[in-house]
Structure 1
Amino acid sequence: MRYTDVAIVGGGLAGATAAAMLGRAGVSACLIDPHVSYPPELRCEKLGGDQLELLRRTGLAEQALRSATLDGEVWEARFGLVVAKKPSDQHGIMYDTLVNAVRAQIPSSVEIIHGKAYAVATSDERQQITLANDDLLSARLVVLANGLNIGLRQMLGMERRVISACHSITLGFDVAPVGRAGFEFPALTYWPGRPAARMAYLSIFPIGDRMRANLMVYRDMTDPWLRDFRQAPEALLIAMMPGLHRMMGDFSVGGPVRIRPADLCATEDYLQPGVVLAGDAFSTSCPAAGTGTTKVFTDVERLCNIHIPAWLATDGMDVDKIRQFYEDPAKVACEAQSLAKAYHLRSLSIDRGLAWRAARWGRFAVRSAQGVRYAIRKRLPARAARPEHRVISGQSQRGRPA
């Protein structure tokens, strides 16, 4: 029997971040995951906005972002026209690269078991995990961060409820210009021109020396369009967005086209002693809405900075302690925002109702105005910094005789 205070099951982004944070805080912890190095997987491929602030709160941002690529500016376009050119803090990074960069920061004090958790038994005091090789692990708290793997949750009587099946589909692939060294834009977000395209947006951004594309669509996995896209991605992209060629010129899609459907799911009967769910193990999000990483970092930051240290300071691990995390205002707000954004973006993208049509044109107008304001602000500092050449008392402002 091995003993630890916190056993983390699952070494993806949530589990690896929790292990690194707890280990750095001096908490006795153990991470259980079968992969020595996290394998490639189509998930989060960029970080930005509030995700960066949340990552900084974990204390892991500086080293993790060294593996990322900052785009600096993103162009937004629709109908083949540039709507706005805006400053951007988007950092492109493949999911496995991000997870492995976080794993590299797990202190040696945290034991990493490369295996699978086969069974778990919980109580108000200590929890017992049985590994696939029949080894036993005793912990005060179990953090289930094993994503879509529902076996252990079902064993504990938890149920996975599908809220919206195949809510969206993400297609990930590389793009490269043909006959040119690079694209004109540093990064591009292309919005659909009509609901019939059944897309949320196309995002193109740099990762290292290549350009990565994420296409977010609303289709069924049985739709022949997905098969056709794999066979002729360039032609289907131009057919979906007739003005795209004007923005990109001739281009080619390289590497495999990876496709990942996303169900919106929530776990029921999760409030139990000795075990807490983090990230996708608790509820999933829509990749098109871009809230998945926000949810992960919110969960882990609240757990490791606030709740777990307080729980370990007193005896027991009953449901009253566990409830504090699920009722944490920051977590509750994040969950609600993530779900609302998933439904709003889907309706804004494909709903044909008059109100949603007006909303689409309203967004187009707002983004156009934002782009104009940014372009004006971008010019003003340059003009202000440029010395004027006026004659003052027989001498130019530059100090030369007039």
Structure 2
Amino acid sequence: MRYTDIAIIGGGLAGSTAAAMLGRAGISALLVDPHEVYPFDFRVEKLSGDTQLDRFYRTGIADSVLRSATHDGENWIARFGYLLDKKPSRQFGIMYDALIMAIRAEIPKPAELVYAKVTDVSTSDDRQKITLSNGEAISARLVVLANGLNVGLRRNLGIERQVISACHSISIGFDLAPVGRAAFAFPALTYFSERPSERIPYLTLFPVGNKMRANLFAYREADDPWLREMRHKPVETMNAALPRLRRITGEYTVSGEVKIRPADLYVCTGYRRPGIVLVGDAFATTCPVTGTGTDKVLSDVTQLCNVHIPAWLATERMNAAKIASYYEDPVKQACDAWSMAKAFSFRKVTLDRGIYWRTQRLARFLAWFGEGSLRRLRKAISAESKAHAHSSSSSSSSSSSSLSSSA
């Protein structure tokens, strides 16, 4: 039997980040995951936006981890084949397996990794017992369940999930390469759908190392023949769905395998139990289209590790009433509600043909266009001011030289 304060089940984004934070805080923790080298998994492939990155920095490991990612610096916004804006970007591309390994490299003692599968969990108000596939057992004061979409352990504990929206969206990932050129003209690109009938909210292109990664999102059924066409003939299928995209990208080809992942929206029920707390997708999922899934994971983990676990360890026992403070945390609840609301509003603004949502689409287009126009105008004024200042400086220098020569 191994003893620890915290046992974390699942070594993905939520679990590995929690282990790194607890280790940095000097809290004894064991991270249990079967993969010593994390395998490829089509999940988070970039960290972006001020809010998300600010959440990541609250973990204390962002600076080190982001050194393994690719910062693009500028993101082009386009629709209908027109470039609307060239926006400064805090966007970092990194494949999920590389992200997890970079986070694990930041796990210090007294936190440790255990490479095994969890076969059983039993909980109580006092200590929790975890049985591993290698025959070992762990006794912990608290279990953090961070095993994502895996439902087996949750069901053994009587925790079920309630599906809110089955196959809410589809995520499609692949590498894109220019034809006849060494590189694309843009550092990164977000291209929005041209028409609701294609059921595509947007395509995002961003660099990961020396490759241009593509994430295409769609609102379709899991058995839609369009997905089969996208897997086997991606260039032709994209050209049909986004016919004016090539005005921005030029001709392109798809290299490597096309990955497709449907996403259900669900929340767990029966999770208020002694000795165990759920984080990230183990608690509830969100829609990858909105990009808020990483926000939700980071919100869960930072609140749990920075606020609740230190307070819980300061007193005896781990009863359900004590752990309820995490689920009732206003920061967590606000992030969960925002994430879920955005999942449904983004779908409506993409698909709904009612006058309100048509107006929303037009308003977004005009906002991007207006912001881009103002940015271009400010750059032009700045360039003209610099040119005028340089001209004045040159004239002054010439006059001084003439006077000096005359003297």
Q: Equivalent pairs: percent with the same residue? A: 55
Alignment-derived partner of residue 203 in structure 2? 202
Residues 389 and 396 of structure 1 are in contact (CA less than 8 Å); yes or no, is this contact kept in structure 2?
no
Partner of 1:389: 391
Paired with 2:272 and 2:304, the residues of 1 have a C-alpha distance of 15
Q: How many residues align?
A: 401
Q: What secondary structure is seen at the aligned counterpart in 1 of 2:367?
A: helix
1:35-56 per-position Cα deviation (integer Å, ceiling 9, x unaligned): 0011111111111111211111
Residue of structure 2 equivalent to 1:4: 4
Distance 1:211 1:388 in 2: 39
Residue 88 of structure 2 is aligned to residue 87 of structure 1: yes
**Is the contact between residue 389 and residue 398 of structure 1 (CA under 8 Å) also seen in structure 2?**
no
Distance in 1 of aligned mates of 2:56 and 2:166: 30
State the Cα deviation string for residues 53-111 of structure 1 (Å, max 9, x = none): 11111111111101111111111111100011111111011111111100011114322
Q: Any conservation in 1 of the 2:17–2:301 contact (CA below 8 Å)? A: yes
Contact residue 67 and residue 93 of structure 1 kept, 8 A: yes
Q: Deviations over 1:186-231 (max 9, x none)?
A: 1110101110010110000111111000000001111111111112
Structure 1 residues not aligned, in runs of 5+: none
CA contact (8 A) 1:73 1:88 kept: yes
Where do 1:151-166 residues align within 5 Å? 151-166=152-167
Cα 1:395/1:308, change in 2 over 3 Å: closer
- 3-state SS of 1:58 partner: coil
Change in Cα spacing, 1:391 to 1:148, as seen in structure 2 (3 Å) is: closer
Distance 1:66 1:334 in 2: 27
**In 2, Cα distance between the equivalents of 1:6 and 1:52?**
26
TM-score by length of 1: 0.97
Give 2:32's aligned residue: 32
Letter paired with 2:222: M
Give the Cα–Cα distance (whole angstroms) in 2 for the partners of residues 303 and 37 of structure 1: 26
**Pairing 1:125–2:126 present:** yes
Shift of the alpha carbon at 1:389?
3.3
Partner of 1:63: 64
User: For residues 372 and 318 of structure 2, what CA distance do their matches in structure 1 show?
Assistant: 52
Distance 1:292 1:397, change over 3 A: farther
Question: What amino acid does structure 1 have at the position aligned with 2:68?
Answer: S
- 1:221 touches 1:261 (CA, 8 Å); kept in 2? yes
Distance 1:330 1:268 in 2: 20
State the AA in 2 paired with 1:97. Answer: A
- 1:132 shift after superposition: 2.0
After superposition, residues 2-401 of structure 1 pair within 5 angstroms as: 2-49=2-49, 50-386=51-387, 387-390=389-392, 395=396, 399-401=400-402
Residue type of the partner of 2:391?
H
Deviation for aligned residue 1:353: 1.3
Distance 1:111 1:61 in 2: 20
In 1, Cα distance between equivalents of 2:358 and 2:137: 58
Distance 2:401 2:279 in 1: 68
Distance in structure 2 (CA, Å) of the matches to 1:155 and 1:309: 28
Could you tell me which runs of 5 or more consecutive residues in structure 2 were left unpaired when the two chains were aligned. none
Letter in 2 for 1:206: P
1:384 deviates by 3.2
Cα distance change on mapping 1:376 and 1:127 into 2, 3 Å: same
Q: Structure 2: how far apart are the matches of 1:240 and 1:400?
A: 64
The alpha-carbon deviation at position 398 of structure 1 amounts to 8.1
Give the letter aligned to residue 42 of structure 1. Answer: F
Please say which of residues 370-379 and 270-279 is displaced more in the overlay.
370-379
Which amino acid is 2:257 matched to?
P
Return closer, same or farther for 1:337/1:390 CA change in 2, 3 Å cut-off.
Answer: same
The offset of 1:377, in angstroms, is 2.4
CA separation of 1:395/1:366 partners in 2, compared to 1, >3 Å: closer, same or farther?
Answer: closer
Deviates most, 352-361 or 204-213: 352-361
Alpha-carbon distance between aligned partners in 2 of 1:208 and 1:80, rounded to the nearest angstrom: 27
Alignment CA distance shift 1:157-1:374 (3 Å): same
- What residue identity is the alignment partner of 2:208? I
Partners of 1:81 and 1:153 in 2: how far apart?
48
| Secondary structure of the structure 2 residue equivalent to 1:41 | coil
Q: Deviations over 1:291-339 (max 9, x none)?
A: 0110111111111111101100111111222111111111001000100
1:222-253 alpha-carbon deviations (Å, 9 max, x no partner):
11111111121111111111111111111100
Deviation at 1:185, TM superposition (A): 1.1
What is the root-mean-square deviation of aligned Cα atoms in Å? Answer: 1.6
Per-residue deviation, residues 353-394 of structure 1 (Å, max 9, x unmatched): 1211111111101111011111222333333334253499x9
Q: Are the aligned partners of 1:11 and 1:145 in contact in 2 as well (CA < 8 Å)?
A: yes
Matches of 2:176 and 2:355, distance apart in 1: 35
